[in-house]
Chains A and B, each alone.
Chain A
Amino acid sequence: MTSSVVSVRVPSWVKKVLDEKRVEYQGVVREVLTGLAEAASGEAVERLREAFRIAEAAWGEKRLTTEEIIRAIRCRDS
């Protein structure tokens, strides 16, 4: 099967810069290492779960889905 995806040609200057490592992406490296340490320790998942819990305080009343509304109407009319 052939792919219909046409790839974008990344500019040669980007490849040159990266290949020759003339630009050290040090800031990113530091962030990545910190992120990997958080992942390995389980801290990242813990923080995520806490974030999810905190966010739910902002949620309004549960909104009914279309299916739930239809079901409710059917029950009322039957």
Chain B
Amino acid sequence: MSSVIVVDASVVVEALTPSNHTTLARRALEEAASKAALIAPHGVFQAEVLNGFRRALIRGAVKTLTPLLEALEKIPIRLVTVDKLLIRLTAELVAVTHHPAPDLVYVALAYLTHATLYTLDSGQASVARRVLGENRVLLLLREEQG
């Protein structure tokens, strides 16, 4: 495993909200946090996590956002500035793959930092494997769909 792990928002959302994947996401984060530096792209990460919290609120899985925001501040993920280089590489990946840009910011960050990407998004994982290689992408399998 790489000493740097880029964590997609999907993993944090599942870890902090009740779902069939909560245990899996928590276990993966705990294991990762004991061995590696966890990073994510500043701004993109928070927006995507909030969107995940919104979905949990709508489906009634959570009743309020305040504790989730407090929990999010505790999560030991270092937020990395989305700079020109990261945006340029993301744009190149968008042009080649036509995949949504927010997902590709994570992929570009993993590329630039020689990191492994952790995600629960199979579409993002598929594109990431094409860019980073099979060994640098960990798709936390959704074993129990629901």
Hey, which bits of chain A sit against chain B, CB under 8 A?
3, 5-11, 14, 17-18, 23, 25, 27-28, 31-36, 38-39, 42-45, 47-52, 54-60, 62-63, 65-66
Contact = CB atoms under 8 A, between A and B. Distances in A.
A70 B87 CA distance: 49
A6 B130 contact: yes
B76 A44 contact: yes
A5 B129 contact: yes
A5 B130 contact: yes
B45 to A, nearest CB: 13
28 contacts: A5-B134, A7-B131, A7-B133, A14-B85, A14-B111, A27-B81, A31-B37, A32-B78, A35-B4, A38-B33, A38-B37, A39-B35, A39-B36, A43-B76, A44-B33, A44-B34, A44-B76, A48-B75, A48-B76, A51-B71, A51-B75, A52-B26, A54-B67, A55-B16, A58-B66, A59-B17, A63-B18, A66-B146
Interface in B57-88: 60-68, 70-72, 74-76, 78-81, 83, 85, 88
Contacts, number: 141
Given A42-B34, A59-B61, A11 B92 contact: yes
A47 B76 CA distance: 6
Contacts of B122: none
A60 B85 contact: no
B37 A34 contact: yes
Interface string B4-41: 10000000000111101000001001100111111100
Contact of A35 (B17, B70, B76): B76
B139 interface: no
B51 interface: no
B78 A31 contact: yes
A18 B112 contact: yes
B138 interface: no
A52 B15 contact: yes
B33 A48 contact: yes
